[in-house]
Amino acid sequence: MRDEQCRLLIDMLRSQDPGLDRIIPAFVFRFNASYGDPSAVRWDVSKEEWQRYEFLGDRVLNLIVAQTLFAQGPVPLDEGEMTAILNTVVSNRSLDLLSRDQENWDLLIPLSIGKQNCYGERITAGAFEALIGALYCEVGFDDVAYFLNSILSPYLAACDPRHNAIGALQEFFQKRGDPLPEYTLVSRSGPDHKPVFVVQVVLPDQQSFTGSGSSLAEAKRAAAQVALARIDPAAGSNEP
């Protein structure tokens, strides 16, 4: 894209409301004006090039989401929690729902892919990934990361296990100015296909509670739930 068009696109990506419904038509218009048919309504790109952008966008998307999850605090997510959130947020189903929620999402599917009345989630998710790949090529990593973090933050928050008992327990002690609870893996037993994890949480006053589950994340939540029920019954009773 020409320099002026790139600057306009970057301004949109970094705006207070960088919604996909605004970004999609702006991107398609600017891309077509620079590289394709300026009169085309849809993204004017060959099927092969669209798939190349999709491939790149998938990798960029995974890296940005992984980087965001890794940097979250003050209580960091463990590997299992990060993996679970990442797999959910970047799944075809999640990206399909995110894309279909926009009025102009079909502008990202070039005629070279084929015009249909109804596209499957693999195509709509691929359209989102192709957009990310093309944006990365045009404006670079930082601006795409800013944009993605803006539009994906509600989805990341909804998948964050710290928004359940773990988060409630942390908030309880933060409000009092106390150190945060500490979690320790006590044991792992059972066969590989059906493991049982036991986690202990130690509170600032040295009280300790344990919880178990089929994953480390589940065991941590269970331990936090037991602790909450003891120190703050009202909060503990809200956990499903």
Catalytic machinery residues: 58, 129
Q: C-alpha distances in angstroms, 221 versus 1, 188, 203, 234?
A: 48, 16, 14, 17
Please list, in sequence order, all residues whose beta carbon lies within 8 angstroms of the beta carbon of residue 59, skipping any fewer than 6 positions away.
Answer: none
Three-state DSSP class for residue 66: helix
Q: Give 212: exposed, middle or buried? Use CB within 10 Å, 0-12, 13-18, 19+.
A: middle
Q: C-alpha distances in angstroms, 196 versus 134, 165, 167, 219?
A: 44, 20, 23, 8
